[in-house]
Chain A
């Protein structure tokens, strides 16, 4: 599979024309669209977060109150903490489940290999809403899990698996697993098989080779997979909205609340800025870790 290390990043393009002139004809229109509808709204968001707003209109009053508000109310402090717990747990679960699967998919000689890879990645083609809905069917009070446990006599009466932080974690871990698998597969494929052969020819056992050669070499993929799952999980809205409730707010659901129900757009903007800072820091960390193909 083709890799895209630095395809549009900083690497010097192979067939580049060294004219040094800006190719306006090529880049003017797309750049204008991105500046107008991506850079401008995000700049607006950043400035709105430092301004007081009334009735969805900004005032001229500069203030840090929006941030102060968020960092002093227990409800939102808990939303931050919960968001990070969810992100960490989702990343950890996805690495634990994704590594064995990725290792298997890279190394298997089964003639079903192609189909198995397709099956592992196909869930990416479905919306998170649809995939989370399956967990809703499983976990709600009158859902499949309760039916099963009651009929087996393991439960006396139905219990609520959701709304809960646990349900959000399971749902997101499920939704983001293919990303982690893809990232780890990428780094496993990059390992020179001769290294393993060399370790074994020098007398290392299969297990020793795995722990001392394969695992350390696939660390960028593992870290990249963790960070990718983490950073998508902290900005996910649909799964926490479906499997959580008012008592399990995360940053994404809180932003939605500020924008559509509480109608305090400046605080919503401040919260969005905090989310961006977290996500971009993580993406940068992932790039530094050498797993840039995962983050970009």
Chain B
């Protein structure tokens, strides 16, 4: 066997390892019995019907709202920050850059614990739940937007802005008609990564939830204490499919490939 053929064989096993558990989860959700039999015995949509009951749709919608708002707000904060950091040199710039990347460096779990204590000690305990979660998610999502927008800004030839200025465009007009359209992909990519990061987060959310106000990941985690339920398999598949569909659509419309290296996060 040639080395390349051997490598290909190894790679097939790695793909089986990576995708197997996900495919088994999907298969089990159609099981006729309420056990995790695989291969599934019979076919039944009953678990999927239950997955679409209010008990599961509510945390799913909660997660979706949270992620959408976190993506929107964090991108709005990231845009000026990225401009400030990549277009200006000023005293304290390195400190601001470190602060910006901080939420990526520090485990989200620790930020969650810190925020919980902050809310408790300043007497804002009542704001745990959606408000606290939104604040936490915005904070851990800001670095994604700053990085993708900064990448776009750096790829922009300075001559374009000079050309616009020499043709009489004001700085605001240059920004609106030249710079912003050209960095649009970076802005969109940052927002998408932020959405996915927020939607899949569990380490931060864990500490900031309250009954009735929890994202789907925390809800699933809590439910697992009662053991296996095929409904959970169906819910998992839905939770998994949502960001996948979103990313596929955005990739089609505006492209994300160039920014994948900026998407790496910590758990």
Contacts and interface: CB of A to CB of B under 8 A. Distances in A.
B264 A280 contact: no
Interface in A109-125: 119-125
Nearest to A21: B90
Contacts, number: 325
A27 B84 contact: yes
Interface residues of A, number: 111
A241 B217 CA distance: 13
B70 to A, nearest CB: 12
B97 A275 contact: no
B243 to A, nearest CB: 4
A149 interface: no
B240 A186 contact: no
B84 A238 contact: no
A228 to B, nearest CB: 7
B141 to A, nearest CB: 11
Interface string B106-120: 111111011111101
Interface in B75-92: 77-78, 80-92
B151 interface: yes
Contact of B14 (A97, A124, A259): A97
A137 B24 contact: yes
Nearest to B245: A125
A2 B81 contact: no
Interface string B95-106: 011011111111
B101 A126 contact: no
B67 to A, nearest CB: 11
A59 interface: no
Contact of B267 (A45, A174, A176, A296): A176
Contacts of B120: 56, 265
Contacts of A144: 24, 28, 36-38
Contact of B264 (A128, A137, A182, A260): A182
Given A1-B258, A26-B81, A133 B236 contact: yes
21 contacts: A1-B257, A7-B86, A19-B88, A37-B139, A38-B99, A41-B114, A42-B106, A44-B117, A56-B120, A123-B22, A125-B196, A130-B220, A143-B228, A182-B264, A206-B3, A231-B266, A232-B266, A235-B267, A276-B106, A293-B261, A295-B105
Given A8-B85, A16-B88, A129-B217, 11 more contacts: A4-B150, A4-B262, A8-B86, A8-B146, A27-B96, A29-B77, A42-B114, A44-B121, A126-B239, A232-B266, A255-B113
Interface of B: 3, 7-8, 10-11, 14-15, 17-22, 24-25, 28, 35-38, 77-78, 80-92, 94, 96-97, 99-111, 113-118, 120-121, 135-136, 138-139, 142, 146-147, 150-151, 153-156, 158, 161, 196, 199-203, 206-207, 216-217, 220-221, 224, 227-228, 232-233, 236, 239-240, 243-244, 247, 257-264, 266-267
